[in-house]
Amino acid sequence: MARRTYSCPLRWSDMDAFGHVNNAVFLRYLEEARIDFLFGSEFGKGDHSFSDGSVVARHEIDYLRPLVHRPEPVVIESWVTHISRASLTMAYEVKDEERVYARASTVVVPIDRETGRPRRITDAERELLAAFRDDAVEAVEAVEGEAVEGAVAV
């Protein structure tokens, strides 16, 4: 299983009043990693491109510990946990060398830009997505072995 790695800078404006990266900002971090995954890699080229568009159907985030602003970026690892006929589920870990700050998943639906309707995932897209597939990690790791050290402020 391969994971796509994205280095995400932390911005001063990402912090909330309590000195943590705000919970809503994590969605922006996931978006940056997802765009890098779908458009900055093999997927952004040729007939297996998601460049016609896609929409997010669902997000799920487990905040494991507060992320405090610092000059070093965090790493966001992305991989695929499910591929259906017309959607895919991506999983993420937001982390540094010492800690995992959040685990998340997103259901992405490719769309036909002309009609604005969902479209099928092509065989070429399915083949590329399969190279980043791992089903076993997301459910078990999100629950076991990690106590939440602090909630992320709203």
Q: Which of 23-32, 85-94, 126-135 has the lowest mean pLDDT?
A: 126-135
**Which CATH code is given to the segment(s) 4-143?**
3.10.129.10
Model confidence at 43, pLDDT cuts 50, 70, 90, reads low
The 10s digit of each residue's pLDDT in 51-78 is 778 999 999 999 999 999 899 999 999 9
Which residues are CB-neighbours of 84 under 8 A, at least 6 positions away?
121
Question: 137 vs 135, which has greater pLDDT?
Answer: 135
SS (H, E, C) 51-83: CCCEEEEEEEEEECCCCECCCCCEEEEEEEEEE
Mean pLDDT over 118-130 rounds to 90
Domain ranges for the chain, please list them: 4-143
Which residues are CB-neighbours of 145 under 8 A, at least 6 positions away?
none
Mean pLDDT over 110-128 rounds to 90
